[in-house]
A and B are shown apart, each in its own frame.
Chain A
Amino acid sequence: QLQLQESGPGLVKPSETLSLTCTVSGGSISSSSYYWGWIRQPPGKGLEWIGSIYYSGSTYYNPSLKSRVTISVDTSKNQFSLKLSSVTAADTAVYYCARGTPAGYGMDVWGQGTTVTVSS
């Protein structure tokens, strides 16, 4: 059974870089059929797609965050990572990693989410 687990600091200072890793277990990240994504949810608000990556390394970012986001994949560790630079309080959110299915059939496996607070 595929599982995803987010990890990283829960507190980041303003202007610094937020770094999170998603570890995939129970399956391989190197499937050409699936993609891997990051989604966030500010307190009391809705879901916002941050970006996605294929195991090949091809990346796709939300235009509103593109200048600050980098997503990478490490197939040897079965992990993919998120870096968000120059963070502000507006980046405080629960960050989820998830698997995207072929043919646009939704994101079918999600991590439990990790809370990141931006504060000095």
Chain B
Amino acid sequence: AQTVTQSQPEMSVQEAETVTLSCTYDTSESDYYLFWYKQPPSRQMILVIRQEAYKQQNATENRFSVNFQKAAKSFSLKISDSQLGDAAMYFCAYRSPRGGSSGSARQLTFGSGTQLTVLP
């Protein structure tokens, strides 16, 4: 089974500064998808960015970018020019492209999350 690890339970960043959230995963598959989701206090999970493992180019979405290191099984999220509205819980997630080598369904597996505080 795949596992996703976020080793930073909490992080803080000064407004307008840059912060990087770490995520590592364990899989025996060669093709898969990775996601970062944001969960503000409203509980609504929002997709921040996604990466397909077969693409070497790191995904970017405005102020959000990833550093995808496939060999190291690392998928970190960089937030540039941090804003107060970025304060939330951030979850890294893994998904197989199909049923997976173990036959399990294509579920989304989440890490334990990183609580990001943005300081004014």
Q: Real complex partners, A and B?
A: no
Contact surface of B with A, Cβ cutoff 8 Å: none
Contact surface of A with B, Cβ cutoff 8 Å: none
